C-alpha cells in the first residue's frame, strides 16, 4: 500500500484536489481511501463518500490536528491495510504554520492557492518547505503573470519540490499529480519507528494546557514576550 500525506492552509482546495486525483487513479484500477484529520467539524467526508471513496474522519477537538495526526497515523495505516487499499491518503487540516505532518520517506504534498497572498509561501513554514510536491490551486481566477509570480515565490521557499497547477473544479492537472504520487512497487505496512521530517513544537505554555486567565502570574512554561522598547 502507498501512503501519502496531504496538507495545506484551510480552504486551499485540498479535498477537491484529492477527489479529482483519486477519481483519475480509480479509473486505472487503483483502490483509494482517505482519512481526514480536522479540528472541530468537517463535512468533507460526505464529499468523499459521494465520490465513492472510502473515508474516515478524525476530529482533534482541543488538540493540534497535526499532533493528533502523529498520534494516530499508525492506526490509520493499519486501517488502510485492513481494507486492502492500494493508496491511502491522509489529509490534515494544516492550521498551524509551525507544524508539518510529513514523514520521512513517505510522499508529502502541500496544497496552496493563488489567492492566499503573494507573501504567503514564506509564512507557511515546514508544511511548504519540506513537501515533495506543491500543488497550486485557483489558477483560473488570477492572471498568467500572477500565477508565474506566485509559483516563483513557492520555488524560492522550496526549490527542491515539484510544482503543479491543479484545478479542483475541472480536474486539470489531477491526472499528472496521480502519476507522480502513486508508485505501484512501493509498499508501506507500518510507520512505527519512522521519523517526522520536521519536529513538532515540544514546549508547552499554560494556555496550551487550558489556562484562560490573562496576566504574568498565570503564564508558565514556554512563554515569549514581545519587545516594545525599540520603536520605529
DSSP string of 45-63, one letter each residue:
HHHHHHTT-EEEEEE-TTS
SS3 call for 156: helix
DSSP, res 120? H
Q: What is the pLDDT of residues 16-73, one digit of tens each?
A: 999 999 999 999 999 999 999 988 888 999 999 999 999 999 888 877 777 788 889 9
| Whether 72 contacts 58, CB under 8 Å | yes
Rounded to the nearest 5°, which phi and psi values hold at 15?
-65, -45
Q: Name residue 172's beta-bridge partners.
A: none
**Dihedral sign of CA atoms 46, 51, 52, 54 in order:** negative
Give pLDDT, residue 225.
Answer: 65
- Which domains does the chain possess? 2-181 (3.40.50.300)
Q: What is the pLDDT of residues 150-160, one digit of tens each?
A: 999 999 999 99
Query: pTM to 2 decimals?
Result: 0.88
Q: How far apart are CA 22 and CA 28, in angstroms?
A: 10
Q: Is the pLDDT of residue 76 over 70?
A: yes
Q: How far is CA 187 from CA 58, 70, 88, 115, 162, in A?
A: 24, 20, 11, 36, 22
Rg of the chain (C-alpha set): 19
Q: How far apart are CA 201 and CA 63, in angstroms?
A: 13
Here the cell at position 16 is 477537491
Q: Is the pLDDT of residue 124 over 70?
A: yes
Average pLDDT taken over every residue of the chain: 88
Residues in the chain, total: 232
Q: Residue 2: how many CA atoms within 13 Å on its side-chain side? A: 22
Amino acid at each position: 500500500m502507498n501512503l501519502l500525506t496531504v496538507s495545506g492552509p484551510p480552504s486551499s482546495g485540498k479535498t477537491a484536489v484529492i477527489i479529482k486525483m483519486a477519481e483519475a487513479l480509480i479509473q486505472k484500477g487503483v483502490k483509494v481511501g482517505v482519512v481526514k484529520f480536522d479540528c472541530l467539524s468537517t463535512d468533507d467526508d460526505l464529499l468523499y463518500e459521494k465520490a465513492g471513496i472510502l473515508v474516515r474522519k478524525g476530529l482533534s477537538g482541543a488538540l493540534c490536528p497535526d499532533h493528533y495526526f502523529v498520534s494516530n497515523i499508525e492506526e490509520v495505516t493499519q486501517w488502510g491495510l485492513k481494507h486492502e487499499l492500494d493508496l491511502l491518503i491522509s489529509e490534515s487540516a494544516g492550521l498551524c504554520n509551525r507544524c508539518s505532518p510529513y514523514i520521512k520517506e513517505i510522499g508529502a504534498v502541500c496544497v496552496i492557492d493563488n489567492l492566499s497572498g503573494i507573501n504567503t509561501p514564506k509564512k507557511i513554514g515546514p508544511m511548504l518547505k519540506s513537501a515533495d510536491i506543491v500543488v497550486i490551486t485557483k489558477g483560473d481566477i488570477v492572471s498568467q503573470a500572477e500565477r508565474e509570480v506566485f509559483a516563483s515565490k513557492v520555488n524560492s521557499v522550496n526549490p527542491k519540490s515539484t510544482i503543479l497547477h491543479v484545478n479542483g473544479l475541472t480536474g486539470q492537472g489531477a491526472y499528472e499529480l496521480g502519476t507522480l504520487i502513486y508508485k505501484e512497487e512501493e509498499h508501506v505496512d507500518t510507520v512505527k519507528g519512522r521519523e517526522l521530517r520536521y519536529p513538532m513544537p515540544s514546549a508547552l505554555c499554560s494556555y496550551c494546557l487550558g489556562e484562560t486567565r490573562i496576566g504574568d502570574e498565570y503564564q508558565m512554561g514556554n512563554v515569549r514576550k514581545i519587545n516594545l522598547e525599540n520603536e520605529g
